[in-house]
Amino acid sequence: SSGINAEYGVNISTSKPGKHGSAKCNFTAIDLFTGDKKEAISPGHANVDVPIVTRLEYTVMDIDDSGFFSLMPNEGQGEMREDIRCPDDGEGEKARTMFNDGKDVMVTILTAIGEDRLVDVKENTKGN
């Protein structure tokens, strides 16, 4: 893979060292943001970077005319966010429709390597 990506491993295998080198590790992973399958091979003695991934739920307070959310975090889980755009895909459309219908909308945002992604939308039925 090129550059730093946020991926989760689905398979890691190792090969035995050959007579001219060290063992190799074969990584198969899924990109967290695109869903693309990636493969990488690394020497067995090498360090591998692991992204720090956070998954937080927010209440949608508003979706402005530019398409950005105003998100209120659950208590004790971070700060108000107004820098995440509501995507035009399925989850974004679901959030927009539910919000416009007057529902109390909860979204789950995945954050890794400086990128944010809307991964889940649901109605808050707990009634804060």
The pLDDT tens digits of the residues spanning 11-60 come to 888 888 877 778 888 888 888 777 888 888 888 888 877 788 888 999 99
What pLDDT score was predicted for residue 23?
87
Distance (Å, whole) CA 104 – CA 95? 10
Residue 5 pLDDT level (bands cut at 50, 70, 90) = low
The maximal CA–CA distance of the chain, rounded, in angstroms, is: 67
Q: Are 32 and 7 in contact (CB under 8 A)?
A: yes
Which residues, other chains included, contact 93 with Cβ-Cβ below 8 Å and sequence gap of 6+?
Answer: none
pLDDT in tens, 61-105: 999 999 999 999 988 777 899 999 999 988 999 999 999 999 999
Say if pTM beats, i.e. exceeds, 0.75.
Answer: no
Distance from C-alpha of 98 to C-alpha of 95, rounded to nearest angstrom: 5
